[in-house]
Structure 1
Amino acid sequence: MPADPRALDHSADAMMPTEEQIRQRLRFLEISAEDVALLRQIHATLLPRLPPVIAAFYRHLQSVPALRPLLADPVVLDRLHQLQGAYFHSLTAGEYDADYVRHRLRVGLAHQRIGLAPEWYIGAYRKYLGDLAPVLAELLHDRPQLFLPTYGALMKIACFDMGLALDTYIQAGRQQLRDSETRFRAAFGQAAVGLAQLSADGRWLRVNRKLLDIVGYTEAELLAMHVWDLVTPEDWQIDGPLLQALANGELESTSREKRYLCRNGQRVWVKATVTAMKLDTDHAATLVAVIEDISQRKQFEEELMHLARHDALTGLANRTLLLDRVAQAIAQARRSGAQVAMLFLDLDRFKTINDSLGHDAGDRVVIEVGRRLKQAVRDADTVARLGGDEFVVLLAELPSEHIAAALAQKVLSALFKPMLIHGHELAPACSIGISLYPRDGADGKTLLKNADAAMYQAKAQGRGNYQFYSEEMNARTLDRLTLESGLRHAIERGELQLMYQPQIDLASGAVIGAEALLRWRQGGGQLVMPDAFIAIAEETGLIVPIGEWVLRTACAQHVAWQRAGLPELRVAVNLSARQFRQPGMDAMVARVLAETGCHASALELEITESVLMDRPDSAAQTLQRLSEMGVLLAIDDFGTGYSSLSYLKRFPINALKIDRSFVRDIPADADDSAIAGAVIALAHSMGLTVVAEGVETPQQRDFLRQLHCDQAQGYLFSEPVSAATLAGMLRRA
């Protein structure tokens, strides 16, 4: 774009030297009255010869590849032609006053603003003088003695002009530097993170407002301080050498999380990233620090760590923290020769409390039991809740098993004391199993398993007592082996069967889908529910062939329904953790669809959120391949894991299934109602369908309908039924 004439005038006026400064420059260049007279003599005859010189000058500029883009705009080129013509007209006019200087500055500014670099500008003067020399020689051919003095005078004026032109570049550079400094100061002062300059030895040289806000000191106070005044001695032992290494050029940057001591005496978590800024080789490097206040993130991390290692309801340790404490206790016991005891507690008839008084009453019982257990044990002992009504007490550094027995009796007595829950006096007894290190196991999981076995022996002995583990307590292990053995032949013996629970469109009441649920009729007789054998199938790997059988059977059944002329519906199949992570799982799904003739769009695969969040990157790739086939994807039991709706956006899912634990107490429970409403609203904002599980009452159905929940399933609509029964329901619909 051409330079704005008004802007050129403003800039030229700002750069104008004084009249005395102009005279000084002219004197220094030895521009005499004789020089001016010579130029005036040649002025009139030179003017007609200038247009070809100017045209040749710009042709020369355009022949240089680096300059060609600067002169591509015809408007810019025409403007420069005009300026250059005016300049040549005044070059030999003999009036080198303030107006001449101002015009010369405008020409220089015009070239500078189109991006013409100084080296090209100086070269342009060479072109002027070179092209004018033969013109002058021709004009003065009859007076050859005047050529050199006239050409010398012209060179003096050209040098005067070059000085003015260079002024425009120098002043523009200075202005850019001032503008840059102004922008830097604004950005530095108003930055959303703490910024500082440090010396190599850690002195604060410059700080911004955000850093002052973080530490609470005034600028004067902080500039009088040293980094070590804000960090712990341990941190300075690390920071000091790092800063020196940065200053010496041994490191480019360093980033550490640490705590700064604030003016009010409190410590705040910060992330300090320091980079060396080497200005020249003669001075030590200045260090630039970016300091972020991460105290809120640290608080969130601590809360998440607490949640990951503690039970949400009671605040007691969970299984993860328990096993960690067991490992520490065993390591200490190996050194000291002491024992470690694990007490496994299960409340007796807890289900009766839940069923008769409601789950809120059950939760309050669990909380009170946890409180009493904490009161009964030593400070060094660990009380954990594994879930439901199962608790574990870990006793470290135990000199004798008699102490474990005494504590077990103390716990039984403490829990037998009545507690008032919702106006009801309850005395929940418990059964306790005890295992000992090293006698009953060398690791936490073994001790836990054996204490569990002992607990079941205590229940078998009439409840409300404790039992130490013994080798004879292997009946449950034998039962498990029996189940595992039978499960290995269940498919070939035709003992597995699928039941289907209808999924209802809440708006219309129509059956739009069915979830396939696995059942095992062991030996053709006793019905075994999934809770009794799925975990065994997972651990042994049998879940892989069983899972494929379920998928194949469900897809074949869907095709059979369609061939029978029944209404279109999708069939939902659960994928277990091991099955989902099995290599080639997506290829297996594609094969089953092809072999059964089932359309991919009629199949919905349900995966629990805990499975997805275990390996999210790998899960996202697997889900993407399934989605590209056209298979529908749903997150099962949503809300029971550690994911978030925002995080699930990375997965190509179609539906969320709200876990029955959030449906069970709605609309009476305000918390569960709020959670259900939030999940439904946010899921809809992400374009996901929401399915509520475990709907058992009209009140739950109506409340979910008010929340615009899309679909539901549960005993209110139908229990799981056989394929033939569901077909009859569809025909009658």
Structure 2
Amino acid sequence: MIKTISYVYKNTDDLKNLIEDNVLYEYPNIFIQIFSSNIDLVELEKIQETIRTSLPLAKVMGCTTSGDIVEGSFVKEKISISFTIFEKTKIDSSLFYVKDYENIREMGKSIVAKLCGADTKALILFSSPSSVDLQPLLDSIDEEKQDITLAGGIAGEKDSFREGIIFNEEESTNEGIVAVSLNNSDLQVQTFTNFKFQEVGKSFKITKAIGNTIVSIDKKKPSKVLESYLGKDFLEQIKLQRNDFPFLLGTKDKSTPIWITNLLEDGTVTVNHPISEGDSLVFAYAHLKEIIDNSLRELKRLSKQNVETIFAYNCSSRKRMLHEFAADEMRMLNSIAPTNGFFANGEISTENGKPQLVGHALTFLALSENKKKLSNRKIDFQYHIPDSVKTIVTLTHLMRASQADLEILNDHAQISEQYYRSLFDNNTDIVYSTDLDGNISSVNPAFEKLLGYKKEELLGKSALKYINKEDIPRVRTHFYSALKGKEQYYNIEVSSKTGENNLLHLKNIPITVNGECVGIYGIGRNITEQKKIEDKIIQLAYYDQDTGLPNRIRFSERLTELLQNAKKTKRKLALMVIDMDRFKIINDSLGHDAGDEILKGISERIQAAIPGGAFLGRFNGDKFTLILSKNVSIEAVIKIANSILRQVGAPIHYSGQEFYVSASIGVSLYPTDGTDEMTLMKNADIAMNRSKSQGGNRLTLYSNDMNEEALKRLELESYLRKALQKDEFFLCYQPLIDLKSGKLYGSEALIRWNHPLLGLVSPGDFIPLAEETGLIEEIGSWVLRTACKQNKLWQQKGLKNITVSVNVSANQFQQTKFVAEVTRALEKSGLEPKYLTLELTESTMLRNIDHSIEVMKSLQKLGVRVSIDDFGTGYSSLSYLKDLPIDHLKIDRSFINNLRIDTSDIAIVKAIITMSHGLAVKVVAEGVETEEQIELLKKLKCHYAQGFFLHRPLTSEDFEKVLIG
């Protein structure tokens, strides 16, 4: 099984906490990928040091990037770290310096020799950008090792493909390769590369080339050709290290996408791929439709596979030029399996068994250690392509059509002009142009129709005249950016001649003539009605019209989402139903309109009373529903509910009158009171009705069989108050066995209640009640005295070194007289303190940690031993544990019940025992029920055990018969 943990770095302390919280140091096979779009080498060295210290077995590879991918989402100017835990896969890694090899092919051979073996299934490479000729290296690796999958990419820095650093856990360089091999013959590896280009414009011939340098195109300097066809702005983009516009390189065998890596001072250009004289070049652009089709096919195929993690290496140009598409693609990949990676400036892919360097592509590795086939899971994969991207597609088609027009124009200028006018005049979208000052120079009929002006009224006027004043600074920014050659997309309201506002989605592009910008084109579509309909549909479908709160449908969807998240994170969730008491009186006396107005005010009061992150909805009528998903506890729920009751109960002023309203609140908790939406809603409603039946203006927490339970508790409380007086309590003793010797070590005293009418009453029923009523202190004192007295009697009968363990409640432990009470029990019984162990739960100790430590120190000074009971089920705060003066630690039975050689519980138990040995604390395992568990505990060096397999709890008489007699 493979598990990936994704993390956006904050600081080294936070990183250490993540490692501790996830117990990452327990795993021998961890592959860590670090991507830094925030170039901070000092911080990077701190991260390397932290990982070397905390995870010495982990293998690290990373690089600087122009952006990170964290669980399918884009992250910029951050450092992201993914921890991939393999169960069966061995990971090898190394960093290779260019200077250490005579040529790049020798480096490829060295990588295979050092990292690859018979069971290697995949090889991941991150390359520095300017010093490594990657394709020959990939060819060399393929010649040496043909049965592995290669993936990875070229590092960068903020869209730079000439700068970048690669590193592992110890070193970093801007001239080399960092490589990691995944070694497991059973590892399931799937890869996919998605790129498709369409040609734009005429084909050129390379007339002179040296290696990766193009010296001339059609016997002209490359810079002149580029300037002639793409303008000076494009040359500036190259200087800024942008690679958004590739070529297709045509050879005898195939077409390969390449891009310019540098514009040299002599007018020649270098590219990312070797070229030869006679090769052809053509401008190219992403063929979005085919890319989408390919992506959807792969997503559907992959969703039917057993995939546990995905490493994605995406092109930085995709993030810039096709941002929404790239975001959707990553999001949908992440819905299949956790997806992490970075935006590269060249991607390594494996297609048809051959590794190659590609560009403007997505390549990924989908991995699994599980061979089981999945049942068909249905995921709706769909791209939501915004108008901005559609406009890019339209523009690409326009560019190709324009090229055809230009070719015709060479022979048929008049026909070409007619094509242009047809495109301009008959376009249903608005098209206009302005000069360098922003004055309108041309408009098409669609523009005239939309604004209601004649062309003559518009020409020469400032385009800013037709927009709202507050939008002018924003539009000016877009205008000047377009003049600099940067395409602009934005929505803007435009006023017509009649004063009607229309929402337009606009694109601005520069108009370039003879290499100089002379103005801009604007291409737009009226989306006013579309936006109104979309907003209205969302509002009607998901929100209450009176209060503006999410309605029942939206609330239900959100509850389902939060329940799924709670199940994954194993966190609690509270559902609260808030119903107004006797609100019908207001509706009947003031009318429903007034009632709706008052309910709106009440909804605002409730919102003021709830914490951030809570989700409030209007269920129906005068009933509201609330989800609490952060830091959920009974205390927090009660505090929030009381705040709501106070806010709702404040005086309401309406039409000169003062009204008072109260609310009944019912709460159900996940997972205690239900694990699905329907059950939680039903139980919260039942609890709310209980509040109403008790007079309203109160909170009720749901419990099963609420009516019967309430009566039963009242009766039980009455009997409980007399149980000590009537001598109805007795103790049973469950033996504790020394696992090393197999001999009796001691016993745990367990209270039992034999009522003359009820019979034996479960401790689970009366102990919580005793705690609530305060009787637990008196009962606890009786247990302590009785257990000490009985243990001393057994010692006198021959069990000389036997100990007794007594459970101490939180209330009893927090009493100031507790240590004195223990002292009296020991003195009265004559039992030596070292034979008494007091068992405390984690929550008891951590309730007031400073006081707890002082009390425990006093007990140890007295000679009494202290034990943590039910360890692992409470707070499990390791930071406190090391400071607690304890002698024993008892592993909770929930970890022992399923303890078998092939379960995850054994790892937890082993960790607890190992930790305890390190703290010099004895370990007790409770709930042992099988011989297999006994043998496993012995192997794990657990000290003591108790459970039904060894002995059930015995009365004092049976204890003597079995263990003494």
TM bucket (normalised to shorter chain) is 0.3 to 0.5
Normalising by structure 2, report the TM-score: 0.33
Larger radius of gyration: 1
TM-score (norm 1): 0.43
More helix by share: 1
Structure with the larger strand share:
2
